[in-house]
């Protein structure tokens, strides 16, 4: 049987994404107060091993996937590319075939999305996108879970993105298409997201606006999101930082959003660059709920890959 890969949000689709969020809410509530490494009562993935391949740095993705698979009854192995044969030139295809004989699922964090699709092409077990330069779908499952937890329904939600048009924004746009919310992008010229992601969201009926005016982007928003101005592997240029400066999320910008708007950031943050300390530490910020929710979202993604989400079990 063909494995069920999670390379991007549209691999799952809107119904499965909604099911992932619901299952995450239920599982999170059911284990309140338990030690973080203790398995859920039903141990749905008992004995399953997740191999995690990192060609880029990670704190949240690495730890949350490890804790997620433990809570589902399984375990994980971390492979840092620098200390594996992949880092010495062994092919992605051979790595995929070997890991498929030794593990039950593979998570990959890499630069080039072509490496991820190559891994999926040759793997006989589910492959999960743990971030590429193009997208970061696991992050957005956690973000949507956080927004729903805050009492905000997704259809019709107004999400403002400020700053660099990067991999995280691409996955937000993909989610907008699936969950029918709107995205207002405030980005300097030259740093907009790939037009294909905007087209995808618009084709699904989402309103996507693009402006170089930060105040216009956040006006009336339910959620304000930003990310680092310089992603992993990108060149750090003074010109880019100067172009991004007007898009720093500060209290004046947050005041233009709805009074009960929430601030999200996938982290790691560069406080004083893309966001001020007052906003990052302020009452509208839910960034540490968002970080914790990586665990709960990851569990739903793993369960979906194995056909074990509640809705899939029938």
Answer for which of 25, 63, 232, 269 binds ligand NVA (CB under 6 A) is: 232
Cis-peptide into 268, omega within 30 deg:
yes
Site string for ligand CP, 151-190 (x = CB under 6 A): ----------------------------------------
Residue nearest to ligand CP (CB): 61
Place of tokens 């809107």: 14
Residue nearest to ligand NVA (CB): 231
Do the beta carbons of residue 36 and residue 299 sit within 8 Å? no
81 binds ligand CP (CB under 6 A): no
Element at 182 (helix H, strand E)? strand 182-186
312 binds ligand NVA (CB under 6 A): no
**221: helix, strand or coil:** coil
Angstrom distances, CA of residue 22 to CA of 88, 154, 177, 180 = 42, 13, 19, 17
Answer for which of 5, 48, 60, 70 binds ligand CP (CB under 6 A) is: 60
CA distance 131 to 54: 10
**Which partner from the list ligand CP, ligand NVA, none does 276 bind, CB cut-off 5 to 8 Å by kind?**
none
CA distance 276 to 273: 7
Catalytic residue among 164, 294, 296, 298: 294
The distance of closest approach from Cβ of residue 66 to ligand CP in the complex, given in angstroms and rounded to an integer, is 11
- Chain residues that interact with ligand CP, rule: CB under 6 A: 58-61, 131, 139, 266-267
- Chain residues that interact with ligand NVA, rule: CB under 6 A: 131, 166-168, 227-228, 231-232, 266
């Amino acid at each position: 049987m063909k494995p069920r890969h999670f390379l991007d949000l549209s691999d799952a689709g809107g119904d499965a994404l909604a099911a992932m969020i619901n299952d995450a809410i239920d599982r999170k509530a059911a284990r309140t107060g338990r030690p973080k490494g203790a398995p859920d009562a039903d141990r749905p993935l008992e004995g399953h091993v997740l191999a995690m391949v990192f060609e880029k740095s990670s704190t949240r993705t690495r730890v949350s996937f490890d804790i997620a698979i433990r809570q589902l009854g399984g375990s994980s192995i971390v492979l840092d590319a620098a200390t594996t044969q992949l880092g010495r030139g062994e092919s992605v295809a051979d790595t995929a075939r070997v890991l498929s004989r030794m593990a039950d699922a593979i998570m990959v964090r890499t630069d080039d999305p072509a490496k991820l699709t190559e891994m999926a092409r040759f793997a006989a077990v589910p492959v999960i996108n743990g971030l590429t330069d193009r997208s970061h779908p696991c992050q957005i499952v956690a973000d949507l879970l956080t927004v729903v937890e805050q009492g905000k329904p997704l259809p019709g939600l107004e999400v403002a993105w400020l700053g660099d048009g990067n991999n995280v924004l691409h996955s937000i746009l993909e989610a907008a298409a699936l969950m029918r919310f709107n995205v207002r992008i405030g980005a300097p010229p030259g740093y907009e997201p790939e037009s294909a992601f905007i087209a995808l969201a618009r084709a699904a009926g989402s309103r996507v606006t693009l402006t170089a005016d930060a105040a216009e982007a956040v006006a009336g928003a339910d959620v304000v999101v930003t990310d680092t101005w310089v992603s992993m592997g990108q060149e750090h240029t003074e010109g880019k930082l100067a172009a991004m400066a007007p898009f720093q999320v500060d209290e004046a910008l947050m005041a233009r959003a709805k009074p009960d708007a929430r601030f999200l950031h996938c982290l790691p943050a560069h406080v004083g660059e893309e966001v001020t300390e007052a906003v990052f530490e302020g009452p509208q910020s839910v960034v540490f709920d968002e970080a914790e929710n990586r665990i709960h979202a990851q569990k739903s993604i793993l369960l979906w890959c194995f056909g074990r989400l509640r809705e899939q079990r029938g």
